[in-house]
Amino acid sequence: MRYHLTTLGCAKNTVDSIRLERTLRNLRHTPVTTPDLADLILVNTCGFIDAAKDESIQTVKTLESARRPNQQLYVIGCMTQIAATEVRTAVPNITATYGAEAWEQIAADLGPASDTYDIPQPSPSPLEGEGWGERSSSAYLKISDGCDRPCTFCIIPTIKGRMHSDTTERLINEARWLAASGVKELVLVAQDSTAYGEDAGQRDGLATFLERLSEAVPHVPWIRLMYAYPGRVTPRLAHAMAALPNIVPYMDMPLQHGSDAVLHRMKRPSLRVARQSIQHVRDAMPDIALRTTFIVGYPGETEREFQELLDFVQEQRFHHIGAFTYSPQPGTPAAQLPQLTEKTKQRRYARLMELAQAISLEHNRALVGQELDVLIESETPTQGEHGTGAVSVGRTHRDAPEVDGLALVKGEYPAGTMIRVRVDGALHYDLLCTPVGISSVPQALAIPLHPITRP
């Protein structure tokens, strides 16, 4: 069967799609590049917030209206896990719906392919039996899924269930395969990455896993940790990160608010706990780049509580801040509470982001004159927006893919190139850079400092 898969939502959903694709390919089903070529159209949906749900429904509607009678349409993932009826009401002619992580069920229902098609496949895996991976210089590695935390605004535990860690052996195998495929950055994701191994009774399971992973893929220069939970960032974890040469000094630790009263209502760890976790990583890695996310306009948030959030941001001066206005999730305790007006939420969001932007600019300015490695991401360089000549787009280790800033490097370099640059200028979120030499990453991965010459 020929299939086409559309993936919506976060990086964790992308990893789910990769796993689903592996399952389908193992059954010899064949991917195609556009839905019109497919016998089976799959949409992996996101149901995290209302905007994501709207996008999911809209995407399914569009695909449904264009499909031929002999094409099947499967809608899967987070949104169908919690709101399959809503999806079916909005788009009645769907062939089937499946919840999150239901790839085994989908595979069982489809069975092995009865026809094969002469469509080019990705290069075979260098590690037998490991399926395929993304042909990108960065790849996500989902180390666990589900969540045991009680955050009152979050529907994830209902969607994904209890936290369950993937096995270290399987993850190491996947990381080796990705490394052999040329990946230069592994981004570790989970709902709560610091819970890794807890379900197997391990303490500091994440630190142990990082040690094994770092040793298993020494030629992957950047391993990045996302979604750490405050209070679970132990001195052992911080010291392991500092000691391992290819774990980048970067951490994403979503804190959600900066007022103890709001955190208490959210059933989140207190500011004392958050400060302690931040201190652990800053003590071990004084130059660590910290990312966090905040929710503004949580039910009952007073002007004073919001000001406490701004004060906390001023105090901690995070390198990267992502912010969301609170949006009620049906089925969560916070959705029952009286809501703030949209105008208030938007006003507070703008104030927080104004402060975050100023702090980000300050951090970027401090980098001017320094030399850093940049991983080039853009295959199609931007043409001379910040100066004359072509510009390639990449990131330093201080910026995570898709959510943080960019490094704009003079010259044209292929995606996947890692080069040494000098930072010449700072924008609010991005850096302006000039190449200066060969990257300090292991030489097998470094690319000579010669821009591509266009024919």
Nearer to ligand SF4 (CB atom), residue 81 or residue 191? 191
Nearer to ligand SF4 (CB atom), residue 72 or residue 332? 332
Using CB under 6 A as the criterion, which residues of the chain lie in contact with ligand SF4 when the complex forms? 147, 149, 151, 154, 156-157, 191-192, 229
Among 249, 164, 174, 182, residue whose Cα is nearest residue 213? 174
Nearer to ligand SF4 (CB atom), residue 216 or residue 335? 335
- Which amino acid type is present at position 227? Y
- The dihedrals phi and psi of 268, each to the nearest 5 degrees, come to -110, 160
Nearer to ligand SF4 (CB atom), residue 98 or residue 227? 227
Q: What would the two tokens of residue 313 be?
A: 């941001």
Minimum distance, C-beta of residue 233 to ligand SF4, in the bound complex (Å): 13
Nearer to ligand SF4 (CB atom), residue 3 or residue 227? 227
Minimum distance, C-beta of residue 230 to ligand SF4, in the bound complex (Å): 10
Minimum distance, C-beta of residue 232 to ligand SF4, in the bound complex (Å): 10
Q: What would the two tokens of residue 34 be?
A: 């556009």
- Which amino acid type is present at position 358? A
Nearer to ligand SF4 (CB atom), residue 177 or residue 229? 229
Nearer to ligand SF4 (CB atom), residue 165 or residue 392? 165
Minimum distance, C-beta of residue 154 to ligand SF4, in the bound complex (Å): 3
**What is the full DSSP assignment across 364-419?**
HHHTTT-EEEEEE--SS-EESTTSSSEEEEEE-TTS-TTTS--EEEES---TT-EE
Side-chain-facing half-sphere of 375: CA atoms under 13 Å: 25
Bridging pattern class, strands 164-165 and 144-145:
antiparallel
Q: What would the two tokens of residue 13 be?
A: 């959903």
Minimum distance, C-beta of residue 147 to ligand SF4, in the bound complex (Å): 3
**Alpha-carbon gap, residue 85 to 102, rounded angstroms:** 17
- The dihedrals phi and psi of 109, each to the nearest 5 degrees, come to -70, -35
Nearer to ligand SF4 (CB atom), residue 141 or residue 266? 266
Minimum distance, C-beta of residue 424 to ligand SF4, in the bound complex (Å): 38
Task: Count the neighbouring beta carbons within 10 Å of the beta carbon of residue 126.
Answer: 12
Beta carbons of 281 and 233 less than 8 angstroms apart: yes
Q: What would the two tokens of residue 131 be?
A: 């399926």
Minimum distance, C-beta of residue 263 to ligand SF4, in the bound complex (Å): 12
**Alpha-carbon gap, residue 175 to 171, rounded angstroms:** 6
Among 254, 223, 393, 238, residue whose Cα is nearest residue 321? 254
Nearer to ligand SF4 (CB atom), residue 271 or residue 415? 271
Nearer to ligand SF4 (CB atom), residue 263 or residue 393? 263
Q: What would the two tokens of residue 249 be?
A: 């000094």
Q: What's the Cα-to-Cα distance from 430 to each of 35, 299, 361, 362, 414, rounded to whole Å?
A: 36, 34, 8, 12, 19
Minimum distance, C-beta of residue 133 to ligand SF4, in the bound complex (Å): 25
Minimum distance, C-beta of residue 152 to ligand SF4, in the bound complex (Å): 9
Instruction: Indicate left, alpha or beta for 369 from its phi (over 0: left) and psi (-120 to 50: alpha).
Output: left
Cβ within 8 Å of residue 350, ≥6 positions away: none
Q: What would the two tokens of residue 141 be?
A: 């590695």
Minimum distance, C-beta of residue 268 to ligand SF4, in the bound complex (Å): 7
